[in-house]
Amino acid sequence: MLPFIEQAWTLTFKNLLIILIRPWHTTPLRALVLPIAFVVFLTYARNLFNPPSEYGIGHASPVISLADALNSAGGGRYKVAFVNNGFTNGDIDSVIAKIDSTARSAGMVTSTFTNEYELVDFCKTSLRGASRCFGAVVFRSSPKEGRDHIWNYTIRADGVFGNTLKVSKEDNDAQKYTMPLQHAVDAEISRITGGTRLPEKVIFTDMIMLISQY
């Protein structure tokens, strides 16, 4: 117990010497001004590297075709992945084959997996949540496959998508990556089931935008 008390008193005495001997104006600077400045910097640091978002409701406009979106993909994204969950030789495979063909025509590397967890290796992400994948489609069921007996699929995208959003622009991450892929899947499902032409897109926000991550 005594060694602890001695060490505590030594540190206390040292701090008192620093406070009393040094010029008086340095203590408020170290104890008040600099900590507050550091906290303010941490609070607004994100805005220094990402411009502020613009929320609201945008205007209706056509969805970019998947081919155009793939050809203009940035960030070194050259992969497209599919997960069929073991459903082969059916409607799910037909949809995958169509999207796969479009992706390959655009020079993308494609791969189809039976397990969603295989995306972790194929679409390895950085600390920022960025990967080399344009996107991934995970099919869970179709009217003739799976337990749900409905079309059920999930679009997977990079976690870095959506850091900044401007409803007045046409180059948001969701518009360049997620929407074209989803629209292409929906269009092929509509073709298989004898549906009609899909509507245009209208971008809007509810303060936050959620995108499924890998």
> Per residue in 78-103, pLDDT tens?
999 999 999 999 999 999 999 999 99
Per-residue model confidence (pLDDT) at position 116: 93
Per-residue model confidence (pLDDT) at position 203: 60
Per-residue model confidence (pLDDT) at position 71: 93
Domain boundaries in the chain? 1-49, 59-211
The tokens for 10 are 């030594």
The tokens for 146 are 């799976």
Per-residue model confidence (pLDDT) at position 194: 78
User: Where would I find the beta strands (DSSP E) of 77-129?
Assistant: 79-83, 109-113
The tokens for 191 are 């073709």
Residues of the chain scoring pLDDT < 70: 1, 19, 22-24, 46-47, 49-51, 195-214
User: Where would I find the beta strands (DSSP E) of 43-150?
Assistant: 57-61, 79-83, 109-113, 133-141
Instruction: Classify 5 as helix, strand or coil.
Output: helix
Answer yes or no: are the C-beta atoms of 75 and 135 closer than 8 Å.
no
